[in-house]
Amino acid sequence: MRAQASILHLDLDAFFAAVEQRDKPSLKGRAVIVGGLGGRGVVSTASYEARVHGVRSAMPMSEARRRAPYAAYLSGRFDAYHQSSRIVMALLAELSPKVEALSLDEAFVDLAAGGVDCSSSEALVELAETLRAELTVRTEGLTASVGIGTSKFMAKVASELAKPDGVRVIEPGTELDVISDMSVRAIPGVGPATHEKLQRLGLQTVRDLQNASEGELLRELGQSWGHGLRELAFARDDREVSSDRETKSISVEDTFEHDLRDRADLERILVADADLVCARVRRHGTFARTVTIKVRLGDFTTWTRSRTLAGGTDQPERVAAVAISLLRHLDLREGVRLLGLGLSGFTMAAQEELFDLEGPESKQVEGVDETTTERAGLEPVEHVGGPFGRRRGGGWSPGVEVEHDEHGRGWVWGAGHGRVTVRFETRHAPGGRVRSFAVDDPALHRAGLLPMTHEVPEARDDD
């Protein structure tokens, strides 16, 4: 670890929901839940008002509706989230040349690399408060929690302790005092599967991990993860902030309202998904060698199949052919709930295929939980369908921004039975009226994003 607390972790508070509350003033102070609105949907983000009712990320949307029946349920607007994220990341880049973006709403910053004097905790708190205030101005109302520590692990712990909308600096030498009584879930990488294994060993807190037999951890978790977990339990973390994180995979997932059993339908979806992921690969100027499919059945059994090609490709026809051949080896009689397609193993050169596409899979994982499956075969860095799934076809999703030729700009309050209800307001003009229209009203159109004063253009792929 570093001798000074010089790594900053910033986490935007309830990001997706906060953007919706900012852009839809009538939702300010209300429970807002963003995610997939169908019967199979899951919660992506819940506002703090919704969390009071026990709603949390990754919860089935049906459960969220039972817990918070009067919340506002919105389908999500990725263009708006990207718009605000670019502003935040540009602000962090003013602090240091070393900014490691983990997602749209989360990043590490190496303050020492930016020449920041990290010798005083009071000065670091002042810096963080100034950063948060400027962030709120530039994003027109969003807030963030900021943590600063001697390592990435401790900075992350600090930002968790600062939530919501606060600052925490963990001073050098106090790390064990801070983490020892925390749950083992506070350690990055301890998900449900690892947590269950640790519970079987009677390990509930970080202090329990510190006192545990290293041999026992290695036997239960494996050499690499068992050793790494023990190191983090003692706050030993020497990972550097990397400003150019390499994309390990590009993937897309589709979650279906009803289980699909028709292979022809599933193959058509894989063809469409191959177009999406290959377009992204081409924008990166690279080629992919490994094709992976992820299939979740109706009983939640999750399978992955992958094949590594002799050479890289960016051709959707080739990727689709491999994906379809992988699908043919699976028994789909239970019905498919989710289908994913991913590319990985990126290379700068392409090469003609040198073997039969019907050859054996290079990797397969059967009947394991999602966490293990994704580690083994599909690491979704970019979900084109996202946690909301992809809507195939038209329709007005709740939360979508619209404009009416007569009434102006607003957002979809709800839709059904051939009607769409719109509240006419923006973040600059709150409190508008609510009106309903026919879904095919020619005067009603989708609206683009409202510009922001500190808008940052989206980076071009050839930059």
Residues annotated as catalytic are 106
Burial of 199 (0-12, 13-18, 19+ CB in 10 A): exposed
Q: Return phi, psi of residue 118, to 5°.
A: -105, 20
| CA 161 to the chain's CA centroid | 21
| CA 218 to the chain's CA centroid | 30
3-class DSSP state of 458: coil
CB 147 within 8 A of CB 168: yes
What one-letter code names the amino acid at 251? S
Output the six-digit token pair for 94.
Answer: 């003013």
Q: Following CA atoms 380, 383, 387, 388 in sequence, which dihedral angle do they give, to the nearest 10 degrees?
A: -160
Helix (H) or strand (E) holding 17: helix 15-23
Q: What is the DSSP letter of 457?
A: P
Separation in Å, CA 294 to CA 193, 271, 288: 19, 14, 17
DSSP-assigned beta bridge partners for residue 32: 72
d(CA 353, CA 12): 45
Closest CA to 8 of 127, 136, 142, 183: 127
- Sheet order of strands, 434-438 included: 434-438, 419-423, 408-416, 401-404, 444-446
